[in-house]
């Protein structure tokens, strides 16, 4: 009995534009973020959806609301789908993190499977929490079409599991853009066999409205993970 899961990253939020670390910080959508959310809502207009879950942070709940309105479905929220707890990184500019936390920042950039937020969560802890939340939703609604609206780091941390990689394989997984849609089919009842149909699709967004894709750091990041993609990705 196949279950389809759509993982959706929230729309553009204040931290994405200001380049401030917002993990558990409860940031709001920007004006463009609301427009992006309208687009992703429309993307699901003709796609069957049975249930919609969201992180309880405002940027995810607001994004999910656009999908829920189009599908005329209620929203179920859970704090277990929240973004990584950044600890001491919360509210700090990305441009200052390397100088203040050189060791932690190095791991975040180069060894994300070993990264741990100072006084916050590790990436491995995040993966365990997010996968547990997704599994509990799946276990309740097997055979259904499920939309789960969550966060960028959360989705990236979950994907090595769905790709059948060790957690070190996160080095080969790119960041999702805002409102990116990842489609995963669960192919067995035991939550052990998956088919990743698409990862991080933003085909619903005009190119000028894509947040991450239009930021200066993005091309360098893609070049950086190219070798890891060849090493770890199986498809």
Give me the DSSP letters along 41-110. HHHTTTS--SEEEEESSHHHHHHHHHHHHHHT--EEEEGGGPPP--GGGTT-BHHHHHHH-HHHHHHHHH
What is the rounded CA–CA span in Å between residue 73 and residue 199? 24
CB 62 within 8 A of CB 28: yes
The residue written with tokens 């100072």 in the block is 118
pLDDT in tens, 93-112: 999 999 999 999 999 999 99
What is the rounded CA–CA span in Å between residue 220 and residue 96? 19
Question: Residue ranges per domain, the chain?
Answer: 3-232
pLDDT in tens, 11-29: 999 999 999 999 999 999 9
Which of the listed CATH numbers 3.40.50.300, 3.30.465.10, 3.30.70.2740, 3.40.50.1240 matches domain 3-232?
3.40.50.1240
Asked if pLDDT for residue 51 goes beyond 70, the answer is: yes
- pLDDT confidence of residue 235: 46
- pLDDT confidence of residue 228: 84
């Amino acid at each position: 009995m196949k279950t389809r899961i759509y993982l959706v990253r929230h729309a553009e939020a204040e931290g994405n534009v200001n380049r401030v670390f917002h993990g558990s910080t409860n940031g709001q959508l920007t004006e463009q973020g609301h427009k992006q959310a309208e687009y992703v809502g429309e993307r699901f207009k003709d796609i069957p959806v049975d249930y919609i879950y969201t992180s309880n942070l405002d940027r995810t709940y607001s994004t999910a609301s656009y999908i829920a309105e189009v599908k005329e479905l209620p929203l179920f929220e859970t704090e277990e789908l929240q973004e990584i707890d950044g600890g001491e990184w919360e509210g700090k500019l990305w441009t200052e993190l390397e100088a203040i936390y050189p060791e932690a920042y190095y791991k975040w950039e180069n060894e994300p499977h070993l990264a741990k937020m100072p006084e916050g969560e590790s990436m491995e802890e995040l993966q365990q929490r997010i996968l547990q939340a997704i599994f509990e939703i799946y276990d309740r609604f097997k055979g259904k079409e499920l939309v789960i609206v969550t966060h960028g780091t959360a989705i990236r941390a979950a994907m090595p599991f769905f790709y059948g990689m060790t957690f070190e394989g996160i080095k080969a997984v790119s960041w999702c853009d805002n409102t990116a849609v990842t489609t995963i089919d669960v192919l067995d009842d035991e939550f052990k066999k998956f088919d990743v149909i698409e990862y991080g699709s933003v085909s619903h967004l005009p190119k000028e409205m894509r947040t991450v894709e239009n930021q200066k750091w993005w091309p360098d990041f893609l070049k950086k993970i190219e070798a890891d993609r060849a090493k770890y990705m199986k498809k």
